[in-house]
């Protein structure tokens, strides 16, 4: 049998244990806590994404797709989100579709797992359920120019 130094053996075992810990953490986050990776939902042309008839982002906003089920189409541009405010009743599940018509932006919705990079040409998608009434701000968290810090919007969950 091949001889392995005692210290080397310890390092091999520790490395394998770390991988097991990381894989377990990932599994618990994904399946027990519902963490998701933003899906690249579809590709759009940023030059026509805001043109009526070319994409759902030409009329950004909320669509009711079922009982307590909504889709939110949000268009990011320098330096605002369209629409600026969304209102849903408590207990709603909202699927967010976000894209940019100009430069790279971000979309982070406070107190939720929704955190996405928003790239022109790509539609980012994440889903969240809102049981607690309240105000949730969403902010752009990718530097996008001189007005970056003014780029935000609000999701209001009504009782």
Q: Which of 92, 114, 125, 142 binds ligand CUA (CB under 6 A)?
A: 142
The footprint of ligand CUA on residues 77-96 (CB under 6 A) is 79
> Which residues are CB-neighbours of 2 under 8 A, at least 6 positions away?
none
For the chain, first and last CA: distance in Å? 69
Q: Which of 74, 124, 144, 155 binds ligand CUA (CB under 6 A)?
A: 144
Establish if 151 lies at the interface with ligand CUA (CB under 6 A): yes
Distance of CA 155 to the CA centre of its chain: 14
Q: How far apart are CA 144 and CA 17, in angstroms?
A: 41
Establish if 98 lies at the interface with ligand CUA (CB under 6 A): no
Establish if 157 lies at the interface with ligand CUA (CB under 6 A): no
DSSP secondary structure string, 120-153?
BTEEEEEEEEE-S-EEEEEE--S--STTGGG-EE
- What is the smallest separation between the CB atom of 138 and ligand CUA, expressed in angstroms? 11
Q: Which of 70, 92, 105, 126 binds ligand CUA (CB under 6 A)?
A: 105
Q: How far apart are CA 4 and CA 134, in angstroms?
A: 60
Establish if 75 lies at the interface with ligand CUA (CB under 6 A): no
Smaller CB distance to ligand CUA: residue 103 or 128? 103
- What is the smallest separation between the CB atom of 124 and ligand CUA, expressed in angstroms? 13
Q: How far apart are CA 56 and CA 65, in angstroms?
A: 14
**Region for 29 from its dihedrals, namely left if φ exceeds 0, alpha if ψ lies in -120 to 50, beta otherwise:** alpha
Establish if 108 lies at the interface with ligand CUA (CB under 6 A): no
The footprint of ligand CUA on residues 122-141 (CB under 6 A) is 140
Establish if 143 lies at the interface with ligand CUA (CB under 6 A): yes
Question: What is the binding site for ligand CUA (CB under 6 A)?
Answer: 79, 105, 140, 142-144, 148, 151
């Amino acid at each position: 049998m091949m001889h392995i130094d005692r210290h080397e053996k310890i390092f091999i075992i520790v490395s394998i244990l770390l991988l097991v810990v990381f894989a377990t953490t990932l599994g618990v986050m994904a399946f027990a806590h519902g963490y998701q990776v933003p899906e690249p939902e579809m590709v759009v042309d940023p030059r026509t994404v805001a043109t009526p008839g070319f994409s759902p982002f030409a009329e950004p906003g909320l669509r009711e797709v079922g009982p307590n089920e909504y889709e939110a189409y949000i268009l990011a541009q320098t330096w605002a989100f369209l629409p600026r405010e969304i209102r849903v009743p408590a207990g709603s599940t909202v699927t967010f579709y976000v894209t940019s018509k100009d430069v790279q932006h971000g979309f982070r919705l406070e107190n939720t797992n929704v955190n996405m990079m928003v790239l022109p040409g790509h539609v980012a998608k994440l889903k969240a359920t809102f049981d607690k009434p309240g105000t949730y701000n969403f902010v752009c968290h990718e530097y996008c120019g001189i007005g970056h810090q003014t780029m935000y919007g609000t999701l209001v969950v009504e009782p």
